[in-house]
Amino acid sequence: MILLLRTAFLVLLVGLWYLAAANVGRNVIATPLETLDAARRLAESGRLLSAVGDTLRVYLTGFALAALVAIPAGVLMGTVRILGKTLDIFVFALAATPRVAFIPLIIVLLGLGLEAKVFIVFLGAIMPILINTYAGVQAVDDELIEMARSVAASRARIFWRIILPSAVPFTVAGLRIGATIGLINTVVAELYTAVSGLGGLLALFGNTFRMAEYLVIVITLALIGVVVTEILRQAERRLEGWRGKG
């Protein structure tokens, strides 16, 4: 049923796309067929695949590093209450600061290469994961912990059976948000540093008003976001069994 509804909505979007292209003008909005033809040309030339590879390398590396740092840090802040109370104001302050403000400093310190791009993605993705993991650990039912202690459960058992499983939905929500912001930051990084990847093609085609090619890049970025989000959703479903055992 959901698949049918999604297909119907996609058909509706394509229809609206045709109407917009017909009424606004092809110089502003390319038609779906023109966009499809542009995608074929970019794929045959190898430019699209090469750009996707460059973007994925930056994006996945920065996102993975953010998850590896943020999840343990969020768990630590949530379980060690005094540490969490001490650091949370600084975490929230950093989360509220636009990441673009750090780009000039990052370029000065790391240059224009891969390291700078990965760090920009890392900065964008880490805060949602950290804050949501921290909130998830804090949201654990204290009565469950007291019940576990009353039957002489060890701290390690409480941690693995109650705290971590309870924090899973929060952490996955943070990963989804972090994945979205990380993808946005990937494009920003590719525009501000050495212009490359999908962000570089986006700037090239946008500046030259090649709207069919431009829309191909936009759709490709959207598809990457959908795939990553769906992978995280499937991971959450698999973790439901662990939560149930907890």
Q: How confident is the model at residue 60 (pLDDT cuts 50, 70, 90)?
A: very high
Whole-structure pTM value: 0.84
71-82 exposure pattern, b = at least 16 Cβ within 10 A, e = fewer: bebbbebbbeee
More reliable by pLDDT, 141 or 36: 36
Residue 149 has what pLDDT?
Answer: 66
Of residues 69 and 199, the one with the higher pLDDT is 69
Whether residue 18 has pLDDT greater than 90: no
Number of Cβ atoms within 10 Å of the Cβ of 237: 10
- Sorted by sequence, the CB contacts under 8 Å of residue 153 that are 6+ apart come out as 161
pLDDT tens-digit series, residues 104-123: 888 888 877 888 889 999 99
The encoded tokens of residue 161 equal: 């059976």
Would you say residue 102 has pLDDT above 60? yes
Q: Please state, rounded to an integer, the average pLDDT across all residues of the chain.
A: 83
Residues 60-74, mean pLDDT to the nearest whole number: 94
AA identity, residue 169: P
- Tokens for 213, please give them: 């090619």
Burial profile 169-198: b = 16 or more Cβ within 10 angstroms, e = fewer: bbbbbbbbbbbbbbbbbbbbbbebbeebbb
So what's the pLDDT on residue 15?
Answer: 81
The region of weakest confidence among 34-38, 85-89, 241-245 is: 241-245
DSSP conformation class of 99: G
Mean pLDDT, rounded, for 13-18: 81
pLDDT for position 132: 93
Whole-angstrom distance, CA of residue 117 vs CA of residue 194? 9
Q: Which domains does the chain have, with CATH numbers?
A: 30-245 (1.10.3720.10)
Residue 143: predicted pLDDT: 65
HSE-CB at 195 with a 13 A cutoff on CA atoms is 7
Report whether 39 contacts 211 (CB < 8 A): no
